[in-house]
Structure 1
């Protein structure tokens, strides 16, 4: 639809004979055909339309990376298509539509503007390659300037209390603990993690502060919490870098999107950061195992390191989050919509179980003083407490907030002296920042150990969600 409408916008210019000089028509023809080159070669190369995220990657890439990409993806079909477009240029450059109509120029202009308005109003313009070129460049610039952090991180303000070497922080997506066998769910959705149960510190009373990623994640990986003014924000990445660790961000998500730019701004401060998908989260079929090669490579590199991993997890569409081998909970022709959705989601949880287990298994092979923390950004209601699936701030359900939170450590991991394991502590993930610093022994001056879920001095507080709701009182009243 977008291609057809965009074609009409170009035809409108030809129809109106708006330009007086041939070189302007040549430029128009070349520009339009290059649009097809961008769209089609992108699809041939990676089965994806040209998105704004590509511009982010192009801007960030160096000469070697671009050369490697070209060598990998420029194939005979792509070369043939480019030659076809070049040939077509010479065929259409002098095309004119000769209809004797009054005020033909004005009609052409209004037709062109009208088509662009339709593209914008319908949202189809988001599929336009040139729109995404502009939006990608603008998004990149905005990303670099959108969040202001405390950049005055002094090494003397960081208290390193351990000699731990590797920390892996796996951040899930839309995974509620209510659908995990590890947390008592009746279906076998986490058999791999269950096999490690004796080696995990599992916390069963952890909630997210919001039900949307953009609102949750900055409060997980920075000093922001519901009491913060945001005037001076410090990220875990900055602290670990200041402590001499090499930092990595591996995300099976888009580099530039409507929702994650602040998060990706934080991510871009890592020594190395990679994004593995260019489609929007609903439509992409890129599975989370795409992260494995880089993860294994990084673990082999010498030196102390922190690896942040952002999964696509169990994000809707649920049935696109796992390969066919993980279609354990199958549907039949008699399955209701509700049954199908639950089965899709549970299959996605099952595959997520394999992914997280594999990260632990690979980490264990390297015999380093290491730890892995897994939690999900928020949960999801999948017909758990109401006849709907998804998340909404207007209709709150416990499953939207209840998230898995557990830690695996190597046998020689150095725990803090005041470490205490109490699995049922009432905790909210906006204090993960303090908890990670405390657990791994890299404490910045603004970290309060009383907020750490791992500390003997941990103090429970009111868990305020959606900025003003006392979670425990709200759902206690609902149960009563």
Structure 2
């Protein structure tokens, strides 16, 4: 009896190891960054395999134990071709546009054969051990329970509106992400499409974007600082009464310094970052994020830049951002654990800790496209600044506002140190800052973000050049510049010609709530004469 139990443990362990080897081996082969899961997550996966070993019959047992391997095979194919994991919307589109997809797949054999190789070998090994470990306990209801579990998640999503699976996470195995995407597609997207009678992605201007490679960029390095939860309403640079940004304000008359208020494409980090990185917005944003065809990291790589993503957020905090970094074109991925391993509390990470790593990168002569991803002014605000930035503590002011304003001072100090670092270099460097979204600080008695209101989607945009003049017409960029237009501007600086101008605002610009498929509402933007716009919240 004890030997039978050991056989279950051995068989579960074998398929657990094979599943990890399949995914991590493929990632290593393709050069994708490997993000390790927590021990609890690994134990949970092992436990599922252990339960599966009680399946009656060797063939059925093999198929159920191989389920994760099979799912991961499809995920690897998508990663190989697009560099991203499968989104729920794509599963819907697979059935809506299967003829076009199969036509494309037929010409991209490499992206099929490599995943098949990484799947057939572990499945062959697994089948061998299925035959070897036949002395097992069996429970006839296991297949029923497995089927019930796989049906339960989409049904729960449909009945309760649960959002688990609406986008891939680095805290799940790739095969599990595909199952979760399928669950969300079946439980949310398909019913919504049937109810609204919409069977295709709505056309928008971002789908009409065409890019033409011009050649080498005139910049040696392009640095994008991607901030968190920073609102222009609390920056002295933009007219705020408190001196939260003394250094930035001192740059106003610098001819190589530009700033304006921009409009994010979403009111949550994972949406706005995915759309910005992939030059999309609105209903087409998720599709473009999934395909990665216009991913900025891909565009940079294809014109000779090395690509780097350095973040002061932890792997856990990056779990819904990392899947959109088109990792097939990313040379260097570092999270807080690598940038500042001594940091104990990831909510108290110091953004300036990334600057020594940046300095190391800038010692080499090759062209670099670098994204510095911050923790910024994300709550809890009391943890977002060092003692040197602890300036505002008026008892007459809400402590939350004092803390937030101090976090803005911390950002100003970061920018000063970044500028001083770049002043020591002889290379031509372009620096662009934008926040992922804004933040409400008491307006309408609201604090935080996620609301389809200007406090959540108005963001600061800063552009500064070093050892070279700002690009022509930079200072002609309009106020309330859509994030999409900034993406066009950045693509041009990388060395691409775009058939759409950064200065021409898209008439169908839409800002999404905290759901990549638009189920959390959206705000339609209409631009008026001069520096004005109106927005209308849509369900």
Normalising by structure 1, we get a TM-score of 0.61
Picking from 296, 300, 311, the partner of 2:359 is 296
Picking from 176, 179, 182, the partner of 2:234 is 179
CA pair 429-477 structure 1, distance change in 2 beyond 3 A:
closer
Structure with bigger gyration radius = 1
How far residue 460 of structure 1 moved from its aligned partner, in angstroms, is: 5.3
Q: Which runs of 5+ in 2 are unaligned?
A: 10-35, 42-168, 182-210, 513-517
How far residue 477 of structure 1 moved from its aligned partner, in angstroms, is: 7.8
d(CA) in 2 for partners of 1:421 and 1:351?
26
Find the counterpart in structure 1 of residue 83 from structure 2. none
How far residue 193 of structure 1 moved from its aligned partner, in angstroms, is: 1.2
Find the counterpart in structure 2 of residue 364 from structure 1. 423
- Work out whether residues 250 and 274 of structure 1, in 8 Å CA contact, stay in contact via their aligned partners in 2: yes
Picking from 244, 252, 268, the partner of 1:197 is 252
The answer to whether the aligner puts 1:215 opposite 2:271 as a matched pair is yes
- Work out whether residues 144 and 265 of structure 1, in 8 Å CA contact, stay in contact via their aligned partners in 2: no
Picking from 434, 442, 447, the partner of 1:375 is 434
State how 1:254-269 maps to structure 2 within 5 Å: 254-257=314-317, 260-263=320-323, 265-266=325-326, 269=329
Find the counterpart in structure 2 of residue 442 from structure 1. 495
CA pair 320-448 structure 1, distance change in 2 beyond 3 A:
farther
- Work out whether residues 267 and 449 of structure 2, in 8 Å CA contact, stay in contact via their aligned partners in 1: yes
CA pair 53-141 structure 1, distance change in 2 beyond 3 A:
farther
CA pair 219-139 structure 1, distance change in 2 beyond 3 A:
same
State how 1:44-123 maps to structure 2 within 5 Å: 52=37
d(CA) in 1 for partners of 2:302 and 2:485?
20
State how 1:10-409 maps to structure 2 within 5 Å: 52=37, 138-139=172-173, 157-160=212-215, 162-199=217-254, 200-226=256-282, 228=284, 229-230=287-288, 232=291, 233-257=293-317, 260-263=320-323, 265-266=325-326, 269-277=329-337, 284-332=347-395, 339-383=398-442, 385-393=443-451, 396-409=452-465
Q: Any idea what SS the aligned residue of 2:378 has?
A: coil
Q: Any idea what SS the aligned residue of 1:386 has?
A: helix
How far residue 422 of structure 1 moved from its aligned partner, in angstroms, is: 2.3
Find the counterpart in structure 1 of residue 481 from structure 2. 427
- Work out whether residues 281 and 511 of structure 2, in 8 Å CA contact, stay in contact via their aligned partners in 1: no
Q: Any idea what SS the aligned residue of 2:371 has?
A: strand
Count of matched residue positions in the alignment of Structure 1 and Structure 2: 335
Q: Any idea what SS the aligned residue of 2:464 has?
A: strand
Find the counterpart in structure 1 of residue 109 from structure 2. none
CA RMSD of superposed structures (Å): 4.0
CA pair 171-227 structure 1, distance change in 2 beyond 3 A:
same
Q: Any idea what SS the aligned residue of 1:52 has?
A: coil
CA pair 358-281 structure 1, distance change in 2 beyond 3 A:
same
d(CA) in 2 for partners of 1:363 and 1:145?
46
How far residue 190 of structure 1 moved from its aligned partner, in angstroms, is: 0.6
Normalising by structure 2, we get a TM-score of 0.54
CA pair 145-194 structure 1, distance change in 2 beyond 3 A:
farther
Q: Any idea what SS the aligned residue of 2:392 has?
A: coil
How far residue 177 of structure 1 moved from its aligned partner, in angstroms, is: 0.6
CA deviation digits over 1:214-251, x for unaligned, max 9? 11011111132226343743211111111111111101
Q: Any idea what SS the aligned residue of 1:175 has?
A: coil
Q: Which runs of 5+ in 1 are unaligned?
A: 1-18, 28-50, 57-134, 148-155
CA deviation digits over 1:416-437, x for unaligned, max 9? 5xx3522543421123321102
CA pair 227-210 structure 1, distance change in 2 beyond 3 A:
same
- Work out whether residues 202 and 423 of structure 1, in 8 Å CA contact, stay in contact via their aligned partners in 2: no
Q: Any idea what SS the aligned residue of 1:284 has?
A: helix
CA pair 374-471 structure 1, distance change in 2 beyond 3 A:
same
How far residue 145 of structure 1 moved from its aligned partner, in angstroms, is: 12
After superposing the two structures, state which structure 1 stretch, 191-200 or 271-280, moved more: 271-280
d(CA) in 1 for partners of 2:298 and 2:389?
38
